[in-house]
Amino acid sequence: MATLGIDDEVYEALQLPEGEREDTVKKELAVSLYARDFLSFGKARYLAGLSKRDFHNLLSNRKTTRHYDEPELAEDIEYSEQSV
């Protein structure tokens, strides 16, 4: 596993309770990298530690457009058909 260094002063300046900082930073990074097309949906949701549904909801709440390619669309269609 790679480790990302964040200066202690910056980390402590986050306006979040201590127990929420790491998860929040991961989610923020995942959304940002996905929005800029640096990470795929699957890798971004893995970084965020969320299910497909929860990551979709997070993207929706952030008004971040979902990037689809053919295989992802087919996978989502298959998933939705199984869920019904």
pLDDT digits (tens, 9 = 90+) for 26-83: 999 999 999 999 999 999 999 999 999 999 999 999 999 888 778 777 877 887 888 6
Work out how many domains the chain is built from and give that number: 1
**Domain span holding position 40:** 20-83
Whether 8 is covered by a domain: the verdict is: no
pLDDT digits (tens, 9 = 90+) for 54-69: 999 999 999 998 887 7
C-alpha–C-alpha distance, residues 55 and 61, integer Å: 10
Q: Residue 70: its pLDDT value, please?
A: 82
Whether 58 is covered by a domain: the verdict is: yes
Whether 6 is covered by a domain: the verdict is: no
The pLDDT confidence band at residue 22, using thresholds 50, 70 and 90, is very high
Could you tell me which residues come within 8 angstroms of residue 64 by beta carbon, excluding any fewer than 6 positions away? 31, 34, 35
Whether 13 is covered by a domain: the verdict is: no
The pLDDT confidence band at residue 24, using thresholds 50, 70 and 90, is very high
Q: What phi and psi, each to the nearest 5 degrees, are found at residue 49? A: 75, 35
Whether 12 is covered by a domain: the verdict is: no
Local structure of 61: helix, strand or coil = helix
Q: Residue 43: its pLDDT value, please?
A: 94
Count Cβ atoms below 10 Å from residue 39 Cβ, excluding itself: 19
